[in-house]
Structures are given as structure tokens and as C-alpha cells.
Structure 1
Amino acid sequence: MRNTRLSRRRLTLITAVLATASVAVAGCGGSSDDSSSAVPTSGGDSGLDAVYADAPVAGDDAILSDSTMAEIKERGVLRVAAALDAPLLSQQDPSNPDDVEGFDIDLAKMLAIYIIGEPNIEIVPPASETREALLQNGTVDVVFNTYTITEERAQQINFAGPYFTSGLAIAVTADNDDISGVDDLDGKTVIVGANTPAVTAVPEVAPGAEVTSFATDPQAVQALVQGRGDAYVQDYTLLVAAAANDDNIKVVGEPFTEEPYGIGLPPDDQDFKDFVNDWLQQIEDDGSWAEIFEATLGTVVEGDAPTPPEIGSVPGS
């Protein structure tokens, strides 16, 4: 484990991103179609080789016998529910399908190293509404999927973290000058992702809006571009992360919620939750969390990496 710690300014992602608010950015996906097929991947070419090489590895005393950690180590691969279509978060390389990179998936690889000693992961792409089921039925070990911690979800599964804080924002087509923030959503058709915080947040801020939902983020973006809605409300991180991918849409206004991301874990497994939280604290303390941020989301955000939220600091965590 490294002893050096990166110097980081105490600011949230939202504050950092707002420094680039004059740039029109594109919105894209964070949740792929539900699929029974898995994508094996180990490492990648994200420029994080040194981070992987110095990553902490759990001691034998941390791998409890007959535990989830022991099962994963014996299997030799961490099964992860993650998107394949979220730029800078979890993006598959079309020319090399085994290579998936981004903030979420690189953190997942770091967790695999902590348990197994190698960044061996197997990705199962979820839809937003299937993430709890994938954990409950044992299809995956963890979910890294811009997964907002809520008390309702925490009744069904466990969360480690939070490890990041983002917020809901608004995307419109590039030629739309009628919508500049939440105050303009009343009377409009607003697209949201199924089973995302936007489903309940939009009626609260714009009770006169007509809400229509789509199963995946790519479907929602396509619907916006095709004119089947006036605006698309989704996580600001996802919208910023897709800045180079679609010139047809832009983000307007400021984030109007705070969304703490958690690592989804199987229900009723406190040992595994404690284990993952211990790992998360280690990579935050040694600076590798910040290095991963700067190599991924940090490439489109001005300023230093934000300070991660305190582990266990939100209801449901």
C-alpha cells in the first residue's frame, strides 16, 4: 500500500463540474440492457497500471472462512453488475470487448485486486430495475452502477459507501432554448430512467410535467433526440461523462438534488459490507481513489479530485 496521499481540495463534484457549466455537454447511458451474458475483463489500458500495481491486497485474516470474500477468492473472479455504455464510468471498447474502463469499473477492479490479488472481474450488464434482483439471487457479488443509496433499496440489499456524490440534472436537445432549469419543466414531457431517483424527483419539482420512463439510458437519450420528450432528467455525472459522444444534446441549469453513490452488496451480509467499507477507506486514504477519479471523470472536470463522502454518512448506507 502506498504511504503517500494525493493533495485534494475539499470540494464536491458538483462544485467542480459547475466550473465548466459554459460547456455544452452530452448525455448518455449508465445502465445497459439486462443480459444473462457476462463480460470477463482483467485490467485494461486506462493508464492506471501503477495504481493497480500498488493496490492494497487483503491479508488472510480479513478473508473470513465461509464468507463471501472467501468464495470470491476461491472462484478467482469478482462478478460485477455494471454498465457497458457509460463513458468515463463503465465503457466497453468496441474494438476490444474485453476492455471496459471508467471510474466505476476501475474501482471494481481495485476491489477484485483486494480480494483476489488480480483485477479479474466478470461484468453482468444490468437494467436499473434488475440490480436488486441480481444481488438477491447471487448472480453478482457487487453492483458498481451509479447506484444511488436510498432507504427503500437498503431494505432489499446492503450498500457500502457512499463513495461518491452526484445529482440530477437536465438534458435537452442542442437547439432547445426553452428549458434552462427545473422551473421550465412544468407542462413539458420529461423523460426519466425507470427505477431511478428522477421518477419521484421530477413530479416534486415540476408537478405539471408529464413523465415518461425508459428502461435504459441509451433508450432515453434516443427518445430525447427523436423528440419524444422535451427534456431528459438523469444523473449529472452521466451527462457530463458523455461530453464527447453526442453533440445533439446539452445539459442546462444546475444539479437540483444530491445523489450518494453506493456499492450494492448482497442482503444480510454484514461481514462483506464491513470488508468492502474497510477497503474503500483504504483506497481513499492512500490516494488511489483520487487517481482513478482523475484518470476518468476528472478528465472532463476542472480542478482536483473531490473529497469522497464519509462512509456510512447517509441513510441506508
Structure 2
Amino acid sequence: MRTTASRRVLTAVALAASSAAVLTACGSGSSSSLPPAAGASSTGSGSGASFQQVIDDAPVAAASDIPAGSPMAAIKARGDLVEGGTDTSALFSLTDPVSGRTTGFDAGLAAMLAKYITGQPKVKLVQVQVATREALLQNGTVDAVFATYTITPKRATKVAFAGPYYTSGDAILVKKSDSSITKVADLNGRTVCTESSSTAAADIKKYAPSAKLVLFDQNSQCVSAVEQGRADAYVLDQALLLGDAYREPTKVKVVGQPFTTEPYGIGLPLNSPAMKTFVDAWLKKIEADGEWAKLWQATIGTTLGGSAPTPPVVGSAAGS
């Protein structure tokens, strides 16, 4: 996760195609579950499994995989997974203010893990911020954090990370009509903006040293600068830029692939090694079975397009 401010700017938007959002979520302290499959629609791309279908098809763990006295057994007995997350991140975890339903890659993974443990995709969402994630895991308020949570060795001294389950990094957003910029080298000699509190500024100087760097305080200011031609491109974490492109599909687009690496992990209590082993094994299972790819297609893929990427190797990130 790049910055506290940049995560906040992905404010909740009313999804016109709210039928694609099928995870019923709510604020801190309330429970949710998925509505019947008949209420789901196809993905935004018009092909592949819908978000609902992915959850419906998700596996359930064998009883032998959940030993008595384990954290998983406690979750199963309770009947829901307490997830630390957000509901304002387009394509990852976004709540439709009309239906109250939450959809996205992180939201889908949380529902799938809940189903794997309890037999039902019942999730209790507790809102987290950058400053509160570790504390909520350490004091037992949440079972797991799904929040585009970048794995780092420093963070791994406070919490355990399953995964990585997704790899993001700095990417490039340009006008929809612009075909001259497709990779980071194309930024040289161009006016490029980013958020003033983001580490992306240093990355731009490193990878496109002759770019003219312009800093803004907010994500929306950067997007407006590109739309109005005051900047040729906007560089920030791809997960955030995909959200911008999701909201303004006729005005801007994300081009190329990330040119830095941000491995996202599932935050877990540091004192629960059995839980980390269990979640890592679950990730490997849904990746091998193709469920991970189907979820990507039903969420991130509706904006990014193309085939699902190869998932990062579980345990491959320093700190995982």
C-alpha cells in the first residue's frame, strides 16, 4: 500500500451495474452473506464466470484440515470470518451505496476463505486504515486483513503474511486517446504527476529521469491534470489507477504493466502459525484449481482486460 491518503481517495461510487456486486457487506460489527446465485449477472467483460459464480464454486475445506483447538476451528464455530478491510477501493473492495453489497478481488478472496473454513461465505467486515491494521490483528479484533496490504520484512515483525496473493506496483494512467505512452521509458521528456505523499515520485525520477515531475496532494487532482492535458501521465500504484479508470472509462486508461513490485499479502496474527500455513495452502489450492483466475476475471479483469496473470508464488516475497 503506497500512502494513507491515496487509499482514502478511492471513495465509494455508485455502480450502475450493481448486479455484479454480490458480496453483502456492512460496516464494522455487522455480518454479511451472499444472496442466491440467481441474483448474479455475468462479469463486466461479458465473458467468464460472474463474481457470484466464483463464490458459489469456491471449495470448502475437509474436516480433517481444521483441527480442534486451531484458529480455523474457532472461526468455524463462530460461523463467519472477521475481515479487516475497506469498502471504498474500486475493483478490490467497493460497496455499492444503493444495494449495500461489496465486490472486488479482496472482497471475493475474503468470502472464499470464509466459505473454505465455515462452509458459507459469511464475512464480518471491520474497517481498517494503514495505521490500524497491525493493532487490530495483534489484539484479535480481526481474523485476517485483506486490504491491498503490501508485504515487507518490517511489517512481518508485527504480523504474519500469507501469500503473496497478488502483485501490483507503479503503473501509468493516460488520456483514453493517448497512444504515445505505453511504458515507463516513454515518460522521459513528458510532464508526469503523482501524489506528493507517495513514493512514486522517487520511482519516476529513477525510471524516467528526464520526466518533468508535478506533485499534487490528491488522487483526483492528478486524474484531472491528465484529463485536462496539464500532465501527460499519472504514475501511482496500479490498484489505485485501475480504480480511476473504472470510474472514468471514457476519459482515461491504464497502460502497460507495473514497473515496480508491490506484493500484496493477507495479514494474519503473528502468533498463529497454523493459520498462516492453512491460508497459504488454501491460496495454492484456489490458484491451482483456477478459482483465483476466475475471480481476477470477474473483478480486476473487467477493467484491465486480457487473460488473468500468473499468481505470484506463495512465500516468494521477503516477509511472507
Give the TM-score category using the shorter length.
0.7 to 0.9
Per the alignment, do residues 58 and 174 of structure 1 end up closer, same or farther by CA in structure 2, a change over 3 Å counting?
Answer: closer
* Per-residue CA distance 1:93-135 (angstroms, 9 max, x = gap): 11112x1011111111000001111000011222223222221
State the AA in 2 paired with 1:139. T
- What is the CA–CA distance in structure 2 between the aligned matches of 1:32 and 1:299, rounded to whole Å? 19
Distance change >3 Å, CA 93–CA 298, structure 1 → 2: same
Counterpart code for 1:263 = I
**CA contact 1:91–1:101 (8 Å) conserved in 2:** yes
For the pair 1:75 / 2:75, whether they are aligned, the reply is: no
Q: 1:222 aligns with which of 220, 223, 232?
A: 220
Aligned to 1:19: none
Map of 1:1-317 to 2, 5 A cutoff?
A: 37-38=28-29, 40-43=31-34, 45=40, 47-97=50-100, 99-171=101-173, 181=184, 190-191=194-195, 198=200, 201=203, 220-224=218-222, 233-246=235-248, 251=254, 255-317=258-320
* Superposition RMSD in Å: 3.7
Q: Distance in 2 between matches of 1:175 and 1:291?
A: 30
Tell me the CA shift for residue 55 of structure 1: 2.1
Offset of residue 255 of structure 1: 2.6
How far has the Cα of 1:245 moved from its partner? 0.8
SS at match of 1:91: strand
Identity %: 43
1:157 offset after TM fit, Å? 0.7
Shift in alpha-carbon separation, 1:254–1:48, aligned structure 2, 3 A = closer
Quote how far apart the aligned CAs of 1:71 are: 1.7
Distance 1:173 1:262, change over 3 A: same
Cα deviations by residue, 1:66-95 (Å, 9 ceiling, x for unpaired): 222122112211111222122221110111
Asked if the contact 1:79/1:122 (under 8 Å) is kept, the reply is yes
The TM-score with structure 2 as length reference comes to 0.72
Higher RCO structure (Cα 8 Å, ≥6 apart): 1
Question: What's the CA shift string for 1:139-160, capped at 9, x where partnerless?
Answer: 2111111111111111111111
**Pair 1:242–1:286, CA change in 2 (3 A):** same
User: Which structure 2 residue ranges, 5 or more long, are not aligned?
Assistant: 1-5, 13-25, 42-49
Match of 1:17 in 2: none
Return closer, same or farther for 1:136/1:60 CA change in 2, 3 Å cut-off: same
Structure 2 CA distance for partners of 1:186 and 1:48, relative to 1, 3 Å: closer
TM-aligned CA distance change 1:114 to 1:171, over 3 Å: same
- Measured in 2, the distance between the counterparts of 1:69 and 1:202 equals 43
Give the Cα separation in 1 of the matches to 2:96 and 2:192: 36
TM-score normalised by length of structure 1: 0.73
- Native 8 Å contact 1:88 1:242 kept in 2: no
Cα deviation per residue 1:199-230 (whole Å; 9 max; x = unaligned)? 875675589968777xxxxxx32343577x97
CA contact (8 A) 1:162 1:314 kept: yes
CA distance in 2, matches of 1:232, 1:118: 41
1:231-268 CA-partner distances (Å, limit 9, x unpaired): 76432133124423136765577532011111111112
4+ long deviations beyond 4 Å: 27-33, 170-176, 179-189, 197-213, 229-233, 247-254
Moved more, 36-45 or 254-263: 36-45
Tell me whether 274-283 or 64-73 shows the greater mean CA deviation: 64-73
Give the Å deviation of 1:166: 1.6
Structure 1 unaligned runs (5+)?
Answer: 1-26, 214-219
